[in-house]
Structure 1
């Protein structure tokens, strides 16, 4: 079995990097073509990645061959001669071709392979484990059958990928850096949200086939994201006929949903669709103890003095969402096809935040309030995609063209009321004004892309392409506050309309080649960016500057062009060991909400305010990696260094804004700014260990440190910090076809710009059992078994210190049932699988 695997890998290498057999100029013997079709004898289904082996009888050291396509067809050009020919496929009996002399082109017809019972005992099942593949510019993690995410979301599944961390609020970071670009099937997509990751918390984890962790992106990819890129590749069935699955789940706290997948494939077209609905209640909580260095007065509290605020927060969160994707791929011929798809997502969320506040002076309670905030959000997203691909030959010569149009409409409202619970002061008539906010966001995005790939010579390849991204986002924000007469009136100082446009044109080319065991990929990408913003407000620029205490341009148009070189090397000691080195230059552009100077309110005295003066951040990064495989162990490791200039950083400061009746209200403002530099160094190590057929272990650890250097508004925020995170996963096959999986994650404590965060531990547990001849699976999983996924920390500024604890979502128990229609568990096809995304551009 092991020998067969090695032979197949060798043949794939020949397929990808070798030329056709050479012959002396002027001699007879034009190449001939050997073709045929390979099917499963029992089901009649085509076998993709089956291998034709052609071994020269005259010189047995010479081996040629090829692999079958998605329709089970192969076609190989060889020099005329005598060969020992065979058809091989893991888990099937080898078929020996009786013919040995090939002097002219021949069609071997249909070849049916029988399953080998003896070999099947040594065959791993795809989906039973997470595997890793290393390419010149990325690591590919095949998610496999991760039962801890059955019925969960894509965001949950990402938290099991090495190098990736999803925090308790859904924020995604790569190697501890939040400036990561999220792509779906290699392209920006409404499925990943418009600059946020909220949509990933609505889509089912079952849709993922693999995740590409691209820490040293080639020129083919966007230069956006200084941390790198996460490319989520979604599933698309390639088997002829109809197949599908139904996943139903439910649990506590109350959550439930259903996802239905369907796929009908013929020789001329492939119809695919996914429809999913989810309902999820997510209770959370928080505790904040803020101690001010000097007593302060709050205009909302009729200027009562206090020096301490204790806040106990309860969150009742309700998420409801429907998503649907339908599409068709039409095959013009064996080489070219056109795929069209339509994606729709709608969400209706409702959050109730209850904040019990106690205001103290010298530890004596002064006033107590209960602040209730109802937030509602309605979201509708539509996306239309077209993809054309023309494969000129089987060597990778191809042209692709993509068009994508996305539109999103989001309406959010909040209703805030804060009655007084008790009052121990002489002020007998304290009335905190009611507030209402309304936010309407309309977003549109166009994407046009074309890529051309030309292989030539021995293992060489040239690639070039263009991508245009055109985005527009209009945010209409309105704040209403209660006046002295008890009526709601518009606060003109903070009501505004922000029209933001980002247009990016990109051209790239890259060249890769192979010399013996040495591979390299060199590329250069040019991106021209236009950032435009227009603010409509009742205030003039001078009044805005006075209100927000920094210069504001209400109609800006910033243009800049950058060159982004990439260099990637791999040296293969053998098929089981290699070392890689990569360099890339990246950019981090400020998003619209980071530029909008009008504040959004997380509470009455805490606001987030964008900074329209933000400039893009640029980084230069180096990555050195090492991969080693043994029979039962796979080791991946890397060390990296990144220097980022004008890096974004958020700080808190004390400012005054205009409140009801024109009063000046003291608030804590969170605002991003351009730090001078951020030097980041780190190392990571991952180990996959399969000691026996019934036990699989997977662990990784990532250590990183960074040095910040910069100041804002006269305050120096320079600091050094180090932290780490690690994860461990084990899967045990118990008797009676029961699987037991445990995932543990720990993020170490770290120093922040203004304080310190404590470590976070999270453990997920799951059991599953296959039923009905493996056509169905029932799973029970527990998210955050110890209910310990809480963010604890300490913050200090020049005017207060704060201890805090925050839990976004409490422990969750979920039961799911999956039924597969003509979808049997697939055997491992890693021999020859295309991990470059060529066949995975569409699908859900």
Structure 2
């Protein structure tokens, strides 16, 4: 099908061809076409052929070469090549470059010619060629420069699909999502097939939260600390695509037992000195983004930043019963919560072409998070069904962080698809998790004060090198080495004071610390082979060796070093013209994240306390997946079956407190095992050329098995299981004069936990957008969750029962505005090679 598209554009050499309306992807990459099941563009336009002179002489000489994009030194697939006679000025031969950018004309007669190369989004290039009888002409690598024509000069009819499947991943085109504008990344991820996001922004993939999230193929310490916090820092308007990689190859870090989510932000593609503005104002959230770009010759510079503020209200009701020493304590707790957040991220980057086949890329990004929650608690406690006490407290929680990510990449291209890279990254995140409490009497008078001060530090240094080379035309070999040095520190203390006095150390909660140093050495090898009958086989293996040096206030924590050999196999087979079968297996590991390790005793909610476990070990999982994707006329359908078994699964465990009456303490432990088996079904339907509907359902069975302390103080095996169902449906209509309407609805069923269930939730929204000024600007209006939502979660053990209701007043109406200044340049921005995919995200935020 790509050849048909290429032939169509080739006709521009000899005919006046008018193209219809251009889609959102840009002409350089053919992003405007709907993708097929392998991510290849499709079109329904008829393809004219070259107008070759009928009596052109034929010879025995050969003219060949490679065509690449001069800005990124990558092959230009299916570029058009025409050979003109200097004497007659007519085309005597023509061909199309293959997927590697290679072209060849084998029966060229002796003479003088002009070789003209063209492709949409690039400037035509003409080369004088003198052909001698019986001699071959190797033209080497030919570089095309990109066109800087305005978008309205070339247009294409088809729309890019909301969801596309490529050989190794599923891609959600978030830039087409109207209803999430003015929101954050969590709002986008809730609509991505196979993903589930709860109210706090915690993400799971096919039932597991043990995943790795990358931003532009790169890790960040803010993501390593908490995925939920990182998602709040990214406005939905800046997200171009979300890639879901369920079976990563050996090139990726072995971490993330459930897979990898790669969030691709919109890259600046503007020529000269330009500015992009994106903004949104809503009832519960507002955002502002400014991005500037300067590109001249070999140098490109980008400078940008965005900020987002949100505000929300919720009511939480907690009912729990604990049993200690024969005494039953019933706690009824209610709390009104007000959340306020201010998030920002600012970046400076440049890329420079050192030579024709060498480039240097560098970037620095700063992130900031300022999240506060104010809660008014009313707590009634009953001892053996008799009211024993009523207490009131006001809690002010502060979650602050400042992060920096610095990347430097050197890439050398020897020939198309053969390259060597050296990459380095320094990443740092300083976090503060404090809370301040006022304890009040029955008359709301101040009785005492308490505060918990907790400072955290996360530091990473990464160095890696990668090499890939094609073998013939159907094979690829990849190899690489990587080392990561990670440092995690936590320093915490509790202070108390009477209403008029100064703060002093709380003897009941002594100060503590955690120093945690982790070093990882890794290497991988990968081989890809494609047969003539469209069977692709990709196999590889990755070896990682991890050493840990840790201590707390009590002394050294003994955590032995461990080694992991992680194999992966991916097989795909094209069936017919529009279907693909895939079979994949991989072995993955999951290291604990900062919030799971942090031993700080977080009692901001005195009846629901959380504390980390610095002795956690990594979990290991085996994953298998089988899928079928197909195009049936205007319908795309994907069906996948998957299974996963995880040993030493890192899981939340709750138990009654020994010191706080009626309270429950939650920590993390390596339980015995976790098994998940299920299916994903997703479809994308083009009802008309301008009306699409896509949706899907996820169904899986979850089984967990671990240890629990009983009433007799002895540990015993427990288990829990259940079926989880989630789904989503979205529709978009493109109207005349730049108008578009979109609606979305989705739900997530109750999730199985070892000791109970976490409540399900539903989301819905509708939005409208008007594009103006030749698509340089847009104005939109969206509304979501008109009635708010309520989540119910339960925990049940022989020692306690807990039921929590969380009512969120998240009704929202938002107005969005965006505008672009500048000329389009079809340049693919260079990305860092560093991908730290190995740290498990933090736990849920259940304060």
Q: Give the TM interval when normalised to the shorter protein.
A: 0.7 to 0.9
**Partners of 1:346 and 1:380 within 8 A in 2:** yes
Which structure exhibits the higher relative contact order, with contacts defined as CA atoms closer than 8 Å and separated by 6 or more residues?
2
Determine the C-alpha separation between the residues in 2 that align with 1:439 and 1:67: 54
The Cα shift of 1:132 comes to 0.8
- What pairs up with 1:355-434 in 2 under 5 angstroms? 355-360=377-382, 365-394=387-416, 396-421=417-442, 433-434=448-449
Determine the C-alpha separation between the residues in 1 that align with 2:550 and 2:469: 40
Q: Which residue of 1 aligns with 2:729?
A: 728
The Cα shift of 1:250 comes to 1.2
Determine the C-alpha separation between the residues in 1 that align with 2:255 and 2:811: 35
Determine the C-alpha separation between the residues in 1 that align with 2:116 and 2:631: 28
Deviations along 1:518-562, one digit per CA (max 9) or x if unpaired, are 1011101000111222102xxx5xxxxxxxxxxxx7433421111
The Cα shift of 1:605 comes to 3.2
The Cα shift of 1:712 comes to 3.5
Determine the C-alpha separation between the residues in 2 that align with 1:34 and 1:752: 56
Change (3 A) 1:715 1:431: farther
Determine the C-alpha separation between the residues in 1 that align with 2:259 and 2:148: 43
- What pairs up with 1:25-44 in 2 under 5 angstroms? 32-33=64-65
Q: Which residue of 2 aligns with 1:525?
A: 542
Change (3 A) 1:327 1:358: same
Q: Which residue of 1 aligns with 2:473?
A: 458
Determine the C-alpha separation between the residues in 1 that align with 2:304 and 2:433: 27
Q: Which residue of 1 aligns with 2:615?
A: 613
Q: Which residue of 2 aligns with 1:214?
A: 245
**Partners of 1:274 and 1:324 within 8 A in 2:** yes
**Partners of 2:379 and 2:391 within 8 A in 1:** yes
For 1:156, what is the secondary structure of its paired residue?
A: helix
**Partners of 1:143 and 1:211 within 8 A in 2:** yes
- What pairs up with 1:497-576 in 2 under 5 angstroms? 497-516=513-532, 517-536=534-553, 540=554, 554-576=556-578
Determine the C-alpha separation between the residues in 1 that align with 2:151 and 2:428: 51
Change (3 A) 1:710 1:411: closer
For residue 148 of structure 1, the aligned residue among 168, 179, 187 is: 179
> What is the aligned-residue RMSD (CA, Å)?
4.2
Change (3 A) 1:698 1:665: same
For 1:448, what is the secondary structure of its paired residue?
A: strand
Q: Which residue of 2 aligns with 1:644?
A: 646
For 2:596, what is the secondary structure of its paired residue?
A: helix
For residue 683 of structure 2, the aligned residue among 687, 704, 707 is: 687
The Cα shift of 1:345 comes to 1.4
Greater shift in the superposed pair: 188-197 or 239-248: 188-197
For 2:683, what is the secondary structure of its paired residue?
A: strand
**Partners of 1:33 and 1:78 within 8 A in 2:** no
Unpaired runs of 5+ in structure 1?
17-26, 40-45, 69-73, 298-305, 424-429, 541-552, 658-663
**Partners of 1:156 and 1:201 within 8 A in 2:** no
Deviations along 1:269-312, one digit per CA (max 9) or x if unpaired, are 11112211222212222111224467988xxxxxxxx8432222
Greater shift in the superposed pair: 2-11 or 198-207: 2-11
Determine the C-alpha separation between the residues in 1 that align with 2:249 and 2:2: 33
Matched, 1:436 2:451: yes
**Partners of 1:494 and 1:599 within 8 A in 2:** no
Determine the C-alpha separation between the residues in 1 that align with 2:299 and 2:759: 54
Q: Which residue of 1 aligns with 2:706?
A: 710
Determine the C-alpha separation between the residues in 1 that align with 2:598 and 2:165: 41
Matched, 1:745 2:773: no
**Partners of 1:348 and 1:377 within 8 A in 2:** yes
Deviations along 1:686-739, one digit per CA (max 9) or x if unpaired, are 111112122111102111112222213413321222102111111122444321
For 2:663, what is the secondary structure of its paired residue?
A: strand
Q: Which residue of 2 aligns with 1:202?
A: 233
For 1:199, what is the secondary structure of its paired residue?
A: helix
Determine the C-alpha separation between the residues in 1 that align with 2:503 and 2:151: 77
Determine the C-alpha separation between the residues in 2 that align with 1:677 and 1:318: 38
Q: Which residue of 1 aligns with 2:164?
A: 132
Q: Which residue of 1 aligns with 2:339?
A: 317
Q: How many residues align?
A: 769
Greater shift in the superposed pair: 187-196 or 277-286: 187-196
Matched, 1:353 2:375: yes
**Partners of 1:321 and 1:347 within 8 A in 2:** yes
**Partners of 1:186 and 1:233 within 8 A in 2:** yes
Deviations along 1:207-247, one digit per CA (max 9) or x if unpaired, are 32322211111000010111111122233234543443101
Matched, 1:770 2:804: no
Determine the C-alpha separation between the residues in 2 that align with 1:570 and 1:702: 22
**Partners of 1:408 and 1:444 within 8 A in 2:** yes
The Cα shift of 1:66 comes to 4.7
Determine the C-alpha separation between the residues in 2 that align with 1:410 and 1:743: 35
Unpaired runs of 5+ in structure 2?
11-28, 31-35, 41-58, 86-91, 710-714, 836-847
Matched, 1:179 2:200: no
Determine the C-alpha separation between the residues in 1 that align with 2:832 and 2:493: 43
Determine the C-alpha separation between the residues in 2 that align with 1:784 and 1:476: 40
Determine the C-alpha separation between the residues in 2 that align with 1:749 and 1:769: 38
Q: Which residue of 2 aligns with 1:257?
A: 287
Q: Which residue of 2 aligns with 1:331?
A: 353
Determine the C-alpha separation between the residues in 2 that align with 1:116 and 1:279: 33
Determine the C-alpha separation between the residues in 2 that align with 1:92 and 1:399: 26
For residue 511 of structure 2, the aligned residue among 495, 503, 519 is: 495
Q: Which residue of 2 aligns with 1:547?
A: none
Matched, 1:280 2:297: no
Change (3 A) 1:108 1:310: closer
Change (3 A) 1:808 1:338: farther
Determine the C-alpha separation between the residues in 1 that align with 2:370 and 2:124: 55
**Partners of 2:233 and 2:308 within 8 A in 1:** yes
TM (norm. structure 1) is: 0.82
Change (3 A) 1:88 1:153: same
- What pairs up with 1:98-113 in 2 under 5 angstroms? 104=137
**Partners of 2:788 and 2:808 within 8 A in 1:** no
Determine the C-alpha separation between the residues in 1 that align with 2:144 and 2:552: 69
For 2:561, what is the secondary structure of its paired residue?
A: strand
Deviations along 1:64-96, one digit per CA (max 9) or x if unpaired, are 41589xxxxx77455453799986757999999
The Cα shift of 1:179 comes to 0.2
Deviations along 1:554-584, one digit per CA (max 9) or x if unpaired, are 4334211110011110011144211011110
Change (3 A) 1:34 1:139: closer
Change (3 A) 1:749 1:67: closer
Q: Which residue of 2 aligns with 1:548?
A: none
For 2:352, what is the secondary structure of its paired residue?
A: strand
For 1:421, what is the secondary structure of its paired residue?
A: coil
Determine the C-alpha separation between the residues in 2 that align with 1:112 and 1:499: 54
Determine the C-alpha separation between the residues in 1 that align with 2:283 and 2:125: 53
**Partners of 2:425 and 2:834 within 8 A in 1:** no
Change (3 A) 1:279 1:654: same
**Partners of 2:584 and 2:624 within 8 A in 1:** yes
